[in-house]
Structure 1
């Protein structure tokens, strides 16, 4: 079992609170890390969404996050190393920090 910390960051350097997660596996793919993060995180913007609008299902949010990763809109760092392939297997040690860095495209670019 591996204890890791999922951290959200934005391109402007804003760092969210870390979330400590216990994973049964000690080796997982980058895709699985992204899916786990999405399923553990409530839908973004739920406080701003009108009450009658249903929340986007986690599977749809996971697919959007995977597309963002493929399109360089989401970077994943394991420790201090950027991972670039969804099927790359990551060895998780106790205390590993996994950072999800959301990038925002430039307007007009």
Structure 2
């Protein structure tokens, strides 16, 4: 599971195991106080794709990975919880105030899946 903690304009994504073990993954600067779930997913995917592309000679496209993540979210491939409330509409705006926690319960890391071959 990945937990996002908001503080001082930075969204910090924290990986969390089912045993409750936590590890900070990385931070992402967000200037806005409100953001749609779709945009939060897009920004996370773009960041993860950039990190993936920096580690490997095989490049993947962030737009393709974002589309895959959006389809996965729409098909309940992962959950997004804001506080203790599940968000199901990707166009819902969430308030990113200091201390807000956004939990993304994912099966595999968003943005790191290989692109489908035609």
TM over 0.5: yes
Alignment of 1:37 with 2:41, yes or no, is no
Which of the numbers 13, 29, 37 marks the counterpart of 1:6?
A: 13
Q: Which runs of 5+ in 1 are unaligned?
A: 105-109
* Equivalence for 1:70: 74
Would you identify which runs of 4 or more consecutive aligned residues in structure 1 move more than 4 Å? 8-16
- Which of 83, 101, 104 is the equivalent residue of 1:100? 104
CA distance in 2 between partners of 1:78 and 1:94 (Å):
13
TM-score (norm 1): 0.70
Q: Matched residue pairs, number?
A: 99
Q: Partner of 1:107 in structure 2?
A: none
- In structure 2, the partner of 1:28 is 35
Structure number with the bigger relative contact order (C-alpha 8 A, sep ≥ 6) is: 1
Where structure 2 has 5 or more consecutive residues not aligned to the other structure, the ranges are 1-7, 109-118
Q: Deviations over 1:62-83 (max 9, x none)?
A: 1111110001001112233221
Q: Which residue does 2:88 correspond to in 1?
A: 84
For the residue of structure 1 that corresponds to 2:24, the secondary structure is coil
Question: Normalized against structure 2, the TM-score is what?
Answer: 0.66
CA RMSD of aligned residues (A): 2.9
